[in-house]
Amino acid sequence: MAPADAPAPGAVEPLVPGVAGAGRPEYPMDTPDQALPPLQPGAEVPVPAPEREVDESVEYLPRSALAASCTASTGPYQRQVERLLKLRVDGKQSAADCRAVRAFQTRERIKPANGYAGPVTWARAELLAARRSLDPGRRCPVKKYAVACVDLDRQLMWVRKDKKITFPVVNVRTGRPGYATRTGWHSVYWRHKDHWSSIYDTPMPYSQFFSGGQAFHAVYGQLATPAGSRGCVNLSYRDAGKLWDVLRKGDRVYIWGKRPGG
């Protein structure tokens, strides 16, 4: 008899943190589009800082691959990781793929290092590649004013002003299917450092709204997770705090691409 938590035949096996005691699978989702900001934001309760540092190195993988030293399972970001590690890009796990991915995970201290191409491995590989070649497609507009550039394809963002990078590239999490982060040009129209969603009772620290209810903001949990946000551009708590000191009301935002899987 199959275990009670086994996926139904044909269903995609859910991903879980690959280390025992890693905590909840995901932090509760951030909010979808909200109404306009409250008229008296100063009356809101300050959002506390996280009590402990989040371990961003714990990979998500199916339960069936938890015990494998080098898994035969094809990960959801197999093609992306193959491309980034300069492997044969066929989207299928092989013994050679597993060894190469596991070596990368070991170097980057991703746990467990078992060759599974999950969201954490992909996010780290994408960030390292962007540090070597930030914008190979030249999608981020070069303007005299500050532009916050969000690349949905790679789940990355940075800020540039003319030829100067004023906020270095970081990983982000954007909208999941049905809650796509809106592409094109936007402007930061409202900033609220200690924002709290009254609709979903969810903290949104360092919120910088740029399109309706979509905003840059921090999340307390792990950033590279199986699912995306509900439209907002999520950053780690530390990165969101640094971005708060870089952007100002009226600064421009440019978003392009499509989140993989979304």
Q: The whole model's pTM is what?
A: 0.88
pLDDT digits 0-9 by tens, 79-123: 999 999 999 999 999 999 999 999 999 999 999 999 999 999 999
Instruction: Kindly indicate the confidence band of residue 200, based on its pLDDT and cuts at 50, 70 and 90.
Output: low
Residues 6+ apart with CB under 8 A from 235: 157, 170, 172, 206, 216, 217, 218, 219, 223, 243
Would strands 190-197 and 202-211 be described as parallel, antiparallel, or unpaired? antiparallel
Q: Of 176, 181, 152, 179, nearest to 262 (Cα)?
A: 176
- What is the spatial distance between Cα 160 and Cα 30, in angstroms, rounded to a whole number? 27
Q: Residue 159: CA atoms inside 13 Å, Cβ hemisphere, count? A: 19
Q: What pLDDT digit, counting tens, does each position of 1-47 carry?
A: 334 444 444 446 889 898 866 655 555 555 544 444 544 455 556 77
Arithmetic mean of pLDDT over the chain? 87
